[in-house]
Amino acid sequence: MSTNIPVLPIAGGALVRAFASLLALVTYWLKIVARARRHRREAHQLAKLDRRMLADIGITRADVSDAFSEPFWEDPTALLRERAIERRMNRPVLRGQRASYPEYSVPR
């Protein structure tokens, strides 16, 4: 007595799972590339600003050029954000003036 074992449905399920995994991997990489392009575009908008506007934000032209020297997959806006926070924290507060950062001010 011979037994028929259905091979095709088992192989078909494995094929569907492999295709779904490949599709998930491709969508993951496409999202990463789209996010990197979006961050680059935002950094290009900052690069168009003049020196005074950049100083108001807390960054310099050198910071912008450093951000663009990073590899494509690195977020240039993250470096700019770090530099702006660094400068904001190191800025001396004049006597008699309260800090203009509400998250760090003490309520009276």
- The full set of domain ranges for the chain reads 19-89
**Averaged pLDDT, 46-75:** 89
Contacts of 43 (CB under 8 A, 6+ apart): 64, 67, 68, 76, 77, 80
Whole-model pTM over 0.85: no
Q: Phi then psi for 15, rounded to 5 degrees?
A: -65, -40
Nearest to 51 by CA among 65, 41, 39, 37: 65
The pLDDT score that the predictor gives to residue 107 is 52
13-42: pLDDT as tens digits: 778 888 999 999 999 999 998 998 998 998
**Averaged pLDDT, 83-104:** 67
